Structure 1
Amino acid sequence: MKTHVKVLVVGGGAVGCGIALHLARAGWETLLVERDELTSGSTWHAAGLLPLFNMGYATSHIHDYSVKLYAGLEAETGLNAGFTRCGNLRMAQTQERMDEYMLYSSTAETVGIEHEFLTPAQIKERWPLVRTEDLKGAIFHPTDGYINPADVTQAMAKGARMAGCSIERKIQVNGYQWTGSEWIVTCEKMGEKGGNLVPTGELFEIRAEHVVTATGNHAQRTARLLGIKIPAIPVEHQFIVTEKDPALIKWREEGNPEHPVLRDADAKWYVREERGGWIMGPYERNAPARFLYDVPESFRADLFPLDLDRIEEEYMAMIHRIPTSEEVGLKDDFNGPICYTPDGNPLVGPAPGLRNMWLAEGFSFGITAAGGTGHYLAQMMTEGEAEIDMASLDPRRFGRWMTTEYAARKNEEAYDHVYILHHPDEERPACRPLRCSPAYDRQKARGAQFGCVNGWERPNYFGPVDAPDGFDHDARSFRRGGWWEYARAEAEAVRNAAGLIDATAFAKHVVTGPGATAFLDWLTSNKLPKVGRINLTYALTEAGTTRTEYTIVRRGENDYYLVSAGAWADYDQDNLLKSAEDFMAAGGGFVNIQDVTSQWGVFAIAGPSSRDVLAKLIRDADPETALSNKRFPWLSSKRIELGMVPVQAIRVAYTGELGWELHHPIEMQNHLFDRLMEAGESLGMKLVGTRAQNWLRQEKSYRAFGTELGRDATPLEAGLDRFVDLSKDFKGKAAMEALGIRSKCVTLLIDGPEDADPWGREALFADGEKVGRLTSGGYSVAFGKQIGMGYVRPDLAEPGTRLKVRMFRELWDAEVAEDSPHDPQNARIRVDG
């Protein structure tokens, strides 16, 4: 057995074997160890479905890759993976569900996933055993189907061995130690006694430059061994197998094809054929989380007791949809653990705080994701980054504040929400509110309707405190919801008067020390600002794409205050700390980094009247000129006093109007909020939420991290050349230049439907050819029409280029606008007073 390898993969389920296959293919010396037998975790009892349907861009790519990989495994390895390509029919009982499918269709189109829409009559014609009179329609994936989980895992394992990977069973990992250049992994051989898996006491070490954990249900044990948080906790999932259905047997004997995998999303179940009968799997309410801290040693390829009462509603719904199943008895049942995460997406990427440690945990659809995860994770490890933006799956998207209790309750919610309508404006209620700025109650009393980002409560919009009859703040829609008019009024207030935005959730870091200036100059792409000034800049990945956007405030010669996206606080801190370690190890001066996110509240005030609002509160020897361009120019920062509150004020506004960010001691937030509200009342100032802000920033072509800015595009491709100083050396520069310009970010004004705006997932077309996709979308109050941002081929990025955008299966006119179509000269931002 090898004891010194390039990479060790821990876990021999489908995901672990998929990763080992692709790392071995990439030429890395790979060893996989499994504590029991291959597939002995959740893999063995999985239903083997391969759903291509997914609302996420990265996950759609992963699932699509897997299905294509599995189709060719037998030819490569000689092992039949048990792939049945019968298709997948996802039915809709409501028009709202059809709207969801049409939005998903745009994502599928950008990825290249084949699909078609069917009417109820077409469904009935193809599959007469399905009841259709209460359906609105369906979406059909002809290349979808199901696979035997054990067979596909063994096929990938054989493929990995053929590529040079070694696979060892009955080996348990008991500890990890990082030496600075490699991992020493303490292992123990396992044996069997009385049907149980038991440690033998035979210990040994494996040394590996890289480690990947794919430990499934054992993720909490892995987290404890690594000293980190991994919010992957299993939830019970049941499915039943029926006896043979005579009507189904007759259907097949008459030469008809196998039914596709049937999904009645509104009834919360999937069904497929199984040897003349049916397999039905529900996603019911109240399925409990299990193994919050550890998996019992006695639990191997085991199951939980079935709870049929819990799935009665879904079972009866299956009988309604497939009436012939009513007289069919139950043959078998399964209730096993399947891992989830708080947002339902797996954790794929670098482990927070650790070097060369990679996580592949929390897979609720592990069979579907195994092949694609292996492909893209191997790219990240061997090439510096994947070809698609994997940030939505990054393990560091969850902060250290997250507890086991939080993860368990949110994972139960994620399970329950598998088949809910996945609205783009969806807000899930479990474990909320938790992280609240001090002004939370004051804003709630004024009608704030909150969203959640990284656990923080953040106003989406401000509606009526006493909602009018028929208005439901909790209503969601794929079109313009009830909130839309309130967001429009907020956006208009910023353009015409003033708006106040709670931006406390921003990530905030302080970088100091004798090496701070040289460190940040190496880490980021732009020139560093002078003392008292600010700059927008970018940190790059090893592959030259965009890792993070920072607003850097220079408070002293070696004293910097960094502001970045609130959703990515721990992600940013991890990159800062690891980069600082690299810098100092290479001989750079000492750098100190502090996360001060929770110490500072932030209000952003913007609009033509914002200076007048602040003038009422500022305490200065010459208050009339304190906020003038001469004393407080655009893109500068000053310490000011607003009433009794000391404020680090930054003259910048994400909305593209005259404005300031007011960074203040968080314990003084309520006092500052009250004074700002009093000062703004007579000047037409409104409280403003993130939805209006998102519309306004698109009118200025301001890119956002997680949409326009990501690990699949460079700052140059994003059109941010003015923030990239090519005269200096910085991390990722050479890789960025080597990539060239593969696509360009553009802003589009759209003549779309009267009742809907793009959400930022739609495909773009030119002359009937798909040429790009939107990454953001919304409504422009300045132009009175829809607006969006996205990426297209470089030759189509010129202002005036006419394109089409797909919304609700129709193509709508769109035109590439000049960058910053609203106030392109920034005159409104620079206005003096």
Structure 2
Amino acid sequence: MKTQVKALVVGGGAVGTSIAYHLARAGWDDVMLLERDELTSGSTWHAAGLLPYFNMSYATTHIHDYSIRFYKTLEAETGLNAGFAVVGNLRMAQTDERMDEYMLYASTAETCGVPYEWMTPDEIKAKWPLIRTDDLKGALYHQTDGYINPADVTMAMAKGARQRGVMIERKWQADAFHWNGTHWEVTATKMAEKGGNLVPTDEQVVITAEHVVTASGNHAQRTARMLGIKMPAIPVEHQFIVMDQDPELVKFRAEGNVEHPVVRDADAQSYVREERGGWILGVYEKGAPARFEYGVPDSFRADLFQLDLERIEDQYMAMNHRIPSCEDCGLKDDFNGPICYTPDGNPLVGPAPGLTNMWLAEGFSFGITAAGGTGYYLAQMMVEGEAEIDMASLDPKRYGDWMTTEFAARKNEEAYNHVYILHHPDEERPACRPLRTSPAYDRQAARGAQFGWVNGWERPNYYAPQGFNDHDSRSFRRGGWWQYAVEEARAIREGVGLIDATAFTKHRISGPGATAFLDWFTTNKLPKVGRINLTYALTSHGTTRTEYTIVRRAEDDYYLVSAGAWHAYDQDYLFKTIVDKEEEFGRINAQDVTTQWGVFAIAGPKSRDVLQSVIKDADPATALSNKRFPWLSARQIELGMCPVTAIRVAYTGELGWELHHPIEMQNYLFDLLEKAGEPHGMKLVGARAQNWLRQEKSYRAFGTELGRDATPLEADLPRFVDLSKEFHGKDRMQATGVRSQCVTLLIDGPDDADPWGREALYDGDARVGRLTSGGYSVAFGKSIGMGYVTPDLAVPGTPLKVKMFDQLWDAQVVEDSPYDPKNERIRVDGQGT
């Protein structure tokens, strides 16, 4: 057994073997995999082996697509048949709303090149007469996927890995991880069989590895404790049952008919597929409990839990309804095993928080489907520095240190029973809420705030009359909330609105090395003292890693503001880079002040009038004028008794200020501003209206227009890139050129719907790009969106089409910032200039 390798993969399930295989295929010739038991002995062995394409995540769809294509090549490479039955996947809809969901997903699938087709109930019945279709609206059919044998595909990847030089060591358990400053030292213990259990022996080795990947599946909590980090990867029970032979099915197949596809009855929370003349029924029911919150018992190996048939009775009856011939089939076998989940159902893939060269691949609820693609894209991240797609949505740091075991367990149970719940784009899931609240939460709730969830924070999405039910208002079209967001957007365009932006991520960077470091770390010129700028930190590939608003408080004292949804993600990258560069640039102090400062954004033509009535200044009439307080500047002011760092900037594109205040004074400031705003008709405004307004100004958002698959130049933001200086990622950014370009479009869509930012863009019959944001424009009275197209189409006036509800709707590329392109409303002056 080698004790020094370049990369060590911990975990021998489908995910771990895929990672080892792809690292070797990417050129690393010194890779080892450790498995504490036998390969596939975790959740892999009892997985149903389905390969569903369906996913609303752009990154996850690419991962699933790669897996499905990759698995079809394994036999030619390894000689092992992975047992891939390409029978297709039939996703049925019992309601019009479910069809709306499928149409939104289908447009998303198109942006990733995933094939699909629509089937009517009559077409389904004609091809597969055993399926009852009289209560169906239709179905989405993926003809290229199906199911696979999980053990066989894992063994095929393991053989392929060995053929490429990977060492696979079974019955070795990783028991400790230590970073020695240059490498990881992993203590591994030999395991042995004893009385049917797996027990540690006295034999130990220390393996030195430059990189370590953990793919420990159900053992993720044990891994997290050894690494000293938090991971919300906790298993949930998943049940499926195998039925005896169905004579009608046996007869159907004997007549030469093709195998049924995987039949997904989402409205019945279940899936069915053929199995040796019978059927397998799998369910995603309510009440499935989380297991192993604090670790897997030593006695639990390739084991199962007791079946709970009462919990799945409704789904079983629904199966008999959908395939009546199975009603008299007996129960042949049953499975109730642990499947790892995360709070949003997507895996944790990428660098571990706070650790060097430690990579996580944990929390896979659809591990067989995701294994191949995870290995491929994670290997790209490790070997090349970045993947070809933006993997930020799967980053392990999307949950911060505020996350607890109890939170993860309850949210994972919710994610499990939401697998087949309608996935509205405006969905807000209720478990574990409220948890993180700003002081003004109760006041906002009393005024009708309907809250969204952002990195644990409760943030108003919109305000509605008391008694309004947000859950019932959700839709794939314009939900019941839409009218309230319209009113809020108009209030900012025509009067004044107040937005709670407390969830912003905030850092203080100071010290002798701060200026030189930030000048190298970001793309734009650093602002002068008392001024601000918008800037970007890049990846090593020159793509966008983080967007910052930088306020320069003093020569070597900076206040950095970034997206609230990406707190731990931004902080980890910032702090790791500071540690790496401090010797070069000098001492740098870095402080996370996110929870010390609340933020209100006030915007609209009357925003100056509101603030003037409460500002404490020798000359209140001129305190907020362009002369004393110009656009893109910051000042310390006093509003009543509250000290405020006021930043003259507005994400809505109107005259406005961000008011950063001591969080313990937030309720005082809220009451003060609310009273001052009454004479001016000030309205409380939520995030949905703000999102629409920023699109009218073509303001890019991180996680949509901005990410690790596009450079700032491709985002069409050259004004925030200072090419006269040297900065991290500059050479790669310039060498990349402009492969596609961000544009804003006005859309003549359906009367009852707007795009969500997941839709495909067409030029005639050719798919040429995709939307990254979408919504409604109060300024233009029609739908609006932002997205990426080829540079030749990024010309104002270019006609395009947007795919919505399986139809193509007219759209036109417009100039950047179609609303107030000269920023005259933002710069409007007050008295005293």
Indicate the TM-score class for this superposition, using the shorter chain for normalisation.
Answer: over 0.9
3-state DSSP of counterpart to 1:160: helix
3-state DSSP of counterpart to 1:701: coil
The alpha-carbon deviation at position 163 of structure 1 amounts to 1.4
CA distance in 2, matches of 1:598, 1:588: 28
Match of 1:749 among 741, 746, 749: 746
Q: After superposition, give the CA deviation of every residue in 1:791-829 in whole Å (9 maximum; x if it has no partner).
A: 000110011111011000000011000000000000000
The verdict on how the C-alpha distance between 1:473 and 1:68 changes in structure 2, with shifts beyond 3 A counting, is: closer
Partner of 1:121: 122
The alpha-carbon deviation at position 476 of structure 1 amounts to 1.0
CA distance in 1, matches of 2:43, 2:467: 48
Match of 2:774 among 773, 777, 785: 777
CA distance in 2, matches of 1:731, 1:218: 37
CA distance in 2, matches of 1:231, 1:314: 28
TM normalised by structure 1 equals: 0.99
Partner of 1:565: 563
1:354 aligns with 2:364: no
Kindly indicate whether the alpha-carbon contact (under 8 Å) linking 1:13 and 1:39 is maintained by their aligned counterparts in 2.
Answer: yes
Equivalences for residues 407-806 of structure 1 within 5 A: 407-467=408-468, 474-585=472-583, 587-806=584-803
Instruction: State the Cα RMSD in Å.
Output: 0.7
Kindly indicate whether the alpha-carbon contact (under 8 Å) linking 1:473 and 1:482 is maintained by their aligned counterparts in 2.
Answer: no
The alpha-carbon deviation at position 737 of structure 1 amounts to 1.2
3-state DSSP of counterpart to 1:634: coil
CA distance in 2, matches of 1:487, 1:163: 56
Tell me the amino acid that sits aligned with residue 806 of structure 1. Answer: K
Partner of 2:210: 209
The alpha-carbon deviation at position 610 of structure 1 amounts to 0.2
Equivalences for residues 295-444 of structure 1 within 5 A: 295-444=296-445
The alpha-carbon deviation at position 466 of structure 1 amounts to 4.1
The alpha-carbon deviation at position 33 of structure 1 amounts to 0.6
The alpha-carbon deviation at position 637 of structure 1 amounts to 0.3
Tell me the amino acid that sits aligned with residue 175 of structure 1. Answer: A
Q: What is the identity percentage for the equivalent residue pairs of Structure 1 and Structure 2?
A: 77
Partner of 1:41: 42
Q: After superposition, give the CA deviation of every residue in 1:414-434 in whole Å (9 maximum; x if it has no partner).
A: 000000000000000000001
3-state DSSP of counterpart to 2:535: strand
1:257 aligns with 2:258: yes
CA distance in 2, matches of 1:335, 1:506: 42
CA distance in 1, matches of 2:641, 2:267: 54
3-state DSSP of counterpart to 2:134: coil
CA distance in 2, matches of 1:630, 1:30: 63
CA distance in 2, matches of 1:492, 1:131: 49
CA distance in 2, matches of 1:88, 1:473: 30
Tell me the amino acid that sits aligned with residue 555 of structure 2. Answer: E
Q: After superposition, give the CA deviation of every residue in 1:447-474 in whole Å (9 maximum; x if it has no partner).
A: 100000000000000011244xxx6654
CA distance in 2, matches of 1:36, 1:621: 75
The alpha-carbon deviation at position 201 of structure 1 amounts to 1.5
The alpha-carbon deviation at position 767 of structure 1 amounts to 2.1
Kindly indicate whether the alpha-carbon contact (under 8 Å) linking 2:244 and 2:279 is maintained by their aligned counterparts in 1.
Answer: yes
Kindly indicate whether the alpha-carbon contact (under 8 Å) linking 1:397 and 1:568 is maintained by their aligned counterparts in 2.
Answer: yes
Tell me the amino acid that sits aligned with residue 717 of structure 1. Answer: E
Q: After superposition, give the CA deviation of every residue in 1:37-77 in whole Å (9 maximum; x if it has no partner).
A: 00000000000000011111000000000000001100011
1:22 aligns with 2:19: no
Partner of 2:818: 821
1:12 aligns with 2:9: no
Q: After superposition, give the CA deviation of every residue in 1:308-354 in whole Å (9 maximum; x if it has no partner).
A: 00000100000000000110000000000000001110000000000
Tell me the amino acid that sits aligned with residue 26 of structure 1. Answer: A
The alpha-carbon deviation at position 574 of structure 1 amounts to 0.3
CA distance in 2, matches of 1:716, 1:816: 18
3-state DSSP of counterpart to 1:413: helix
Kindly indicate whether the alpha-carbon contact (under 8 Å) linking 1:504 and 1:601 is maintained by their aligned counterparts in 2.
Answer: yes
CA distance in 1, matches of 2:383, 2:493: 48
Kindly indicate whether the alpha-carbon contact (under 8 Å) linking 2:470 and 2:481 is maintained by their aligned counterparts in 1.
Answer: no
Tell me the amino acid that sits aligned with residue 110 of structure 2. Answer: E
CA distance in 1, matches of 2:385, 2:756: 30
Q: After superposition, give the CA deviation of every residue in 1:9-47 in whole Å (9 maximum; x if it has no partner).
A: 000000001111110001112111100000000000000
CA distance in 2, matches of 1:474, 1:198: 52
Partner of 1:2: 2
Partner of 2:100: 99
CA distance in 2, matches of 1:82, 1:784: 54
Tell me the amino acid that sits aligned with residue 673 of structure 2. Answer: L
CA distance in 2, matches of 1:475, 1:361: 34
Q: After superposition, give the CA deviation of every residue in 1:350-395 in whole Å (9 maximum; x if it has no partner).
A: 0000000000000000000000000110111111111111111000
Tell me the amino acid that sits aligned with residue 95 of structure 2. Answer: T
CA distance in 2, matches of 1:145, 1:173: 35
Tell me the amino acid that sits aligned with residue 576 of structure 1. Answer: L
Tell me the amino acid that sits aligned with residue 111 of structure 1. Answer: C
Q: Can you give the 5+ residue segments of structure 2 that lack an aligned partner in the other structure?
A: none
Kindly indicate whether the alpha-carbon contact (under 8 Å) linking 1:449 and 1:473 is maintained by their aligned counterparts in 2.
Answer: no
The alpha-carbon deviation at position 507 of structure 1 amounts to 0.4
TM normalised by structure 2 equals: 0.99
Tell me the amino acid that sits aligned with residue 706 of structure 2. Answer: L
CA distance in 1, matches of 2:598, 2:124: 55
4+ runs of 1 displaced by more than 2 Å?
A: 471-475
CA distance in 2, matches of 1:616, 1:85: 69
Partner of 1:76: 77
Kindly indicate whether the alpha-carbon contact (under 8 Å) linking 1:261 and 1:272 is maintained by their aligned counterparts in 2.
Answer: yes
3-state DSSP of counterpart to 2:393: helix
CA distance in 2, matches of 1:803, 1:158: 48
CA distance in 2, matches of 1:474, 1:628: 45
CA distance in 2, matches of 1:616, 1:676: 9
Equivalences for residues 56-205 of structure 1 within 5 A: 56-205=57-206
Tell me the amino acid that sits aligned with residue 399 of structure 2. Answer: F
3-state DSSP of counterpart to 2:44: coil
3-state DSSP of counterpart to 2:707: coil
The alpha-carbon deviation at position 174 of structure 1 amounts to 0.7
CA distance in 2, matches of 1:294, 1:625: 63
The alpha-carbon deviation at position 738 of structure 1 amounts to 1.4
CA distance in 1, matches of 2:524, 2:774: 28
CA distance in 1, matches of 2:355, 2:428: 32
Bigger CA drift: 397-406 or 731-740?
A: 731-740
Tell me the amino acid that sits aligned with residue 216 of structure 2. Answer: T
The alpha-carbon deviation at position 582 of structure 1 amounts to 1.1
Tell me the amino acid that sits aligned with residue 694 of structure 1. Answer: N
Q: After superposition, give the CA deviation of every residue in 1:636-693 in whole Å (9 maximum; x if it has no partner).
A: 0000000010000000000000000000000000010001011111112100000000
3-state DSSP of counterpart to 2:272: strand
The verdict on how the C-alpha distance between 1:473 and 1:88 changes in structure 2, with shifts beyond 3 A counting, is: closer
Kindly indicate whether the alpha-carbon contact (under 8 Å) linking 1:473 and 1:483 is maintained by their aligned counterparts in 2.
Answer: no
CA distance in 1, matches of 2:572, 2:484: 38
Tell me the amino acid that sits aligned with residue 142 of structure 2. Answer: H
The alpha-carbon deviation at position 475 of structure 1 amounts to 2.6
3-state DSSP of counterpart to 1:44: helix
